[in-house]
Amino acid sequence: MFSARLYRMAASKIGVVDYRRLVDSKLHTAGDLYTFMMDQFHSSRGFVLELMVAIILVIELAFVLQTKIFSVR
């Protein structure tokens, strides 16, 4: 019982509650930053994959047209 009172008194003098609030705020900010960066990563990865699919389709279309043109002659 005495130890608990002593801890509460020391914690209030040192400012443990303020420190804990500051750490929670920084953790929340870090979490928001992580979420933002992961969203950006997934967005850019999706763009690259869509671009690769479009390039593959253009190459395939070029091969189809090339075989059609050369098979006519």
Report field, pTM of the whole predicted structure over 0.85: no
**The amino acid at 55:** I
Q: pLDDT digit string (tens) for 12-62?
A: 888 888 899 999 999 999 999 999 999 999 999 999 999 999 999 999 999
Structural domain boundaries, residue 40: 2-72
What is the reported pLDDT for 63?
A: 93
State how far the Cα of 40 lies from the Cα of 34, in Å rounded to an integer.
Answer: 10
Residues 6+ apart with CB under 8 A from 29: none
Number of domains in the chain: 1
Angle between helices 2-14 and 16-72 (to 10 degrees): 70
- Over residues 55-73, the mean pLDDT reads 88
Asked whether residue 72 carries a pLDDT value surpassing 80, the answer given is: no
Cβ contact 11:17 at 8 Å: yes
User: Running DSSP on this structure, what letter comes out for residue 1?
Assistant: -
